[in-house]
Amino acid sequence: MIEAISSSMATNPRSQQLVEKGKREGSYMEMDDFLQLLTAQISNQDPLEPMKDTEFISQMANIASLEQMQQFSKGFENFADSHKDMVTQAYLGRQVSVENENGLVSGIVDAVNKAEDGNVTVQVKGKDYDPEKISRVSLPGFSDQ
């Protein structure tokens, strides 16, 4: 039975694409790949010992659950990115202290910039800084140092 699956997979052009894709991007299966493998398994099963319905349903439930988890993960990543952007925009007009390679820079955030690659920076005194390097935020004119 394994030989039958192997031979049908070897002649399938999609299988060759998967092999090439796996070499380039690492090994992982997508929903289409799983369904193709399951179809090959069902069509080449032993007629004296067919696949049980419960096994089939269990496999389908597992893959559906995995796909939903992946979609949830992508959605949460998008939410986290947009939340980070909103928090950075809250720095506008605030007095901040930013740690950089030369020490501590203090000033008012003049602008928030988003580059084409999606990186967000805050502009203090005409220079861009990573918002993760901000160590203090206060209202302008307020200082308790």
Please tell me which residue, 24 or 68, carries the higher pLDDT value: 68
The pLDDT value given to residue 96: 92
Q: What is the pLDDT of residue 110?
A: 92
Q: For 7-19, what is each residue's pLDDT tens digit? A: 554 555 655 655 5
Give the mean model confidence (pLDDT) for residues 100-121: 87
> Which residue type occupies 144?
D
> With respect to CATH, is domain 91-138 assigned 2.40.128?
no
More confident residue, 141 or 66: 66
Mean pLDDT of the region 126-134: 89
Q: Which of 4-8, 32-36, 100-104, 126-130 has the highest mean pLDDT?
A: 126-130
The pLDDT score that the predictor gives to residue 1 is 45
Task: Parse the chain into domains and list their residue ranges.
Answer: 2-85, 91-138
Task: Of 48-52, 81-85, 101-105, give the lowest mean pLDDT range.
Answer: 48-52
DSSP one-letter string for the chain: -HHHHHHHHHH-HHHHHHHHHHHHH-S---HHHHHHHHHHHHHTS-TTSPPPHHHHHHHHHHHHHHHHHHHHHHHHHHHHHHHHHHHHHTTTT-EEEEEETTEEEEEEEEEEEE-TTS-EEEEETTEEE-GGGEEEEE-TT----
* Each residue's pLDDT tens digit, 48-82: 777 676 777 787 788 888 888 989 999 998 888 78
For range 86-95, the mean pLDDT: 86
**pLDDT over 70 at 132, yes or no:** yes
